[in-house]
Amino acid sequence: MDNLWEFIEPSLRKFDGNPVWILRETPRRTVTYRELHRAILTTASTLRAKGIEAGDTVGVTAPNGPEFCVAALAAWKLGGIIAPIHKNYTVEEIAAQLDAVKPKILLVHDAEIKFDNRLEITLDADDEAIGRESGQPSPASADQTAIRLYTSGSTGTPKIVRLSHNNIMTNILAALHIRTFDERDWFISLLPLSHSMGLTATMVLPLYCGSCCVTPRVIAAQEIIETLSEENISVLIAVPRLFRNIMHGLESKFRAGSAPLRGYIWLIRNTPLALRTVINAPIRKKLGGRINCWVSGGSHLDGAVSRYFHQLGIPIRQGYGLTETSPIAALQDEYDPAVDSVGKPIQDVEARVLNPDREGSGEILLRGPNIMLGYEDEGQNAGAFDGEWFRTGDIGFIDDVGNITLTGRIKRLIVTEAGKNIYPEELETRLERDSVIKEAGVFELEMRPVCVISTDAEDPEQTIREAIRRYNASASSHNRISRFAVVEELPRTPLGKIAFQKLPEVFAEHEVG
């Protein structure tokens, strides 16, 4: 298999009548592998007629669903390169991205974007077009660019990451070496397909395995819980914030439940692990009953959230990666609530620590077939590599058996006047354990940690003041928070991450303590 079209096309044929995507919208939509295959060939024929050739960039903007698949696979069949554009970008952000990636054509679905050469994505099928396109092989080779991902990250510096067909294919095969999936698995589609994790793990992976994806009506805790239950979802891949929201959603149901239900939850938490399989069966059934694999990635998963689901008999594996690593770099092969690591590097990927300190901690470097071809700006590549090794910008250490433990980001590290290192991620995790704090964003101001906190409390200023007092009571002196701001929501990037570069501005406007 030389390219992603050849990687996925056999599944389109093999699982012909099986559902490939279900959208829980009104009216509900179900699309089969056969319908998807025919729509891809029809769209590829249309693109070919419009002059799209191997190496051309095809912009794609669409919600999570079959239309995004059609656009991506049609482009790959022609040897094209996709440039995903997140549908929630502002008009200005979309204009900046289009100017940066300069697609030859823009494929759109359910989006009002002005572009001279655009094509609406549909699932329409044309027998003549399918006949013309069916026998045409994809000219792309494994090492050619398949995806150009525009990323501003959480620090605000735009980059265009080039990922090859081989990057994505080897990444998926390495993940399947740890955990297998097949046509019986149903994935819930939560991560945007315009992001590397969503694209690789919740589109290409399930398509390769013959699985079905389900898009919920909205990305909200109760709808996610209902989707897990009603659709018998077996695979959930999400960011830590969503797992925390699901936990809070379940707790709301438990608090609203009867005294016997609350007593049942107490029983679960106080039953030895060996006996919980039977005790937990009703809870697992409430979440679909077919749980195969839950994976958290994108940032650190709080141990309290991890332990909560483990008590319910649902282990969450932690993974680690970046856009530049296609994105999976490490994954826990077995869940261990006592190990606060992201697991070992996946197959054929190596990790080492650059310039480790006395405790063995330093910048994590990675090498393997999942590492990007590079940034399009050669100036950005200069600082991204140490020889063959990709510099992740993450601080951590590697234990004797190869598990990677992360402690923070180099760019976010705070060094006090006394030379103490403060890792904002650790402070955020501890702050967010307080039930009144939705999220916390910590950054450096005058060599001290300050934070912006979001809450739903009725008296937000006083509530957070008391929460900070509780936090400081158990924090070491250099980790204590003396100044903070309170908001309803933290600023975010279009992909849902906290926009850390905007925190100082928000702090200046909303500081209360």
What DSSP letter does each residue of 37-103 carry, written as one string?
Answer: HHHHHHHHHHHHHTT--TT-EEEEE--SSHHHHHHHHHHHHTT-EEEE--TT--HHHHHHHHHHH--
- Average pLDDT for 310-331: 93
Name the CA dihedral angle for 64, 68, 70, 74, rounded to a multiple of 10 degrees: -150
Q: For residue 97, what are the CA distances in angstroms to 52, 94, 104, 106, 151?
A: 20, 5, 13, 12, 9
Q: How confident is the model at residue 156 (pLDDT cuts 50, 70, 90)?
A: low
Could you tell me if 311 and 438 lie in one domain?
no
Final residue before a domain boundary, out of 126, 150, 173: 173
Domain check: are 163 and 276 in the same one? Answer: no
Same domain, residue pair 305 and 333: yes
Q: Return the CATH number at 40.
A: 3.40.50.980
Number of domains making up the chain = 3
**Which of 409, 444, 467 is at the close of a domain?**
409
**Residue 111: per-residue pLDDT:** 72
* Same-domain pairing of 265 and 160: no
Are both 162 and 286 inside the same structural domain? no
> In which band, very low, low, confident or very high, does the pLDDT at 154 lie, cut at 50, 70 and 90?
low
352 and 243 assigned to the same domain: yes
The residues that bridge with 351 in the sheet, in sequence order, are 366
Averaged pLDDT, 163-187: 97
* 385-386 and 414-415 beta bridge pairing: unpaired
Q: pLDDT band at 248, cuts 50/70/90?
A: confident
In a domain, 373, yes or no: yes
217, part of any domain: no
495: pLDDT strictly greater than 70: no
Asked if the structure places residue 186 within a domain, the reply is no
For residue 69, what are the domain limits?
Answer: 4-173
CATH assignment at residue 287? 3.40.50.12780
* Ramachandran sector of residue 287 (left: φ over 0; alpha: ψ -120 to 50; beta: rest): alpha
pLDDT tens-digit map of 68-104: 999 999 999 999 999 999 887 888 888 889 999 999 9
31 falls in which pLDDT band (50, 70, 90)?
A: very high
Same domain, 91 and 130: yes
> Is 241:300 a contact under the CB 8 Å cutoff?
no
Q: What is the pLDDT of residues 407-449, one digit of tens each?
A: 999 999 999 988 889 999 999 999 999 989 999 999 999 999 9
Give the per-residue pLDDT at 290. Answer: 83
Residue that finishes a domain, picked among 344, 375, 409: 409
169 and 243 both lie in a single domain: no
Q: Report the C-alpha dihedral over residues 83, 89, 90, 92, rounded to 10 degrees.
A: -30
Lowest mean pLDDT among 104-118, 331-345, 445-459: 331-345
Query: pLDDT-based confidence at 455, cuts 50/70/90?
Result: very high
Same domain, 450 and 500: yes
Collect all residues with Cβ–Cβ distance below 8 Å to 429 and sequence separation of at least 6.
Answer: 300, 302
